[in-house]
Amino acid sequence: MNKVIGVKTSMELNTRPLGKTVAYWAVTGLLAAAIMLSGIGQLMQFGGNLELVTNLGYPVYVLTILGIWKVLGAIVLLVPGLPRLKEWVHAGIFFLMTGAALSHAFANDYGDYGFNLILPLSYAALNIVSWALRPPKNRLS
């Protein structure tokens, strides 16, 4: 009888509602795509990336550093397993995006309608939702 209860308990622990799984992958996929595209844009210095960084007073080489970390982080978010590394990626994205918003705020560079604050903070919020919805196998004990 104990064996049956043990098997049933382990089966119950491994089940996860489909809606939660779909929500996790939708949010995480969107986050990974946004971070990947942002990183590629920074590596290639597309759009206003160069102007944006110099307006904030950062050296241009910061684009290369941020771009590499963003591309690698986006890949880690989509690769199965690696729970500890995923935790680091989520923390890194949170610090990066809140730091970007604060950098713009301190430099009085709000953009049109506060876009330079709203965009990184929305990525930070998306990151928090992805982290909160992560499957049990991606959680640290």
Nearest-5° Cα angle at 45, 130 to 128: 10
The pLDDT tens digits for 60-82 are: 999 999 999 999 999 999 999 89
State the DSSP code for 44: T
* CB-facing half-sphere around the CA of 85: CA atoms within 13 A: 12
Query: How far apart (Å, rounded) are the C-alpha atoms in residues 105 and 27?
Result: 27
DSSP track, 88-129: HHHHHHHHHHHHHHHHHHHTT---GGGHHHHHHHHHHHHHHH
pTM, 2 dp: 0.82
- Per-residue pLDDT tens over the stretch 94-127: 999 999 999 999 999 888 888 889 999 999 999 9
How confident is the model at residue 68, as a pLDDT?
97
- The confidence score (pLDDT) of residue 139 equals 81
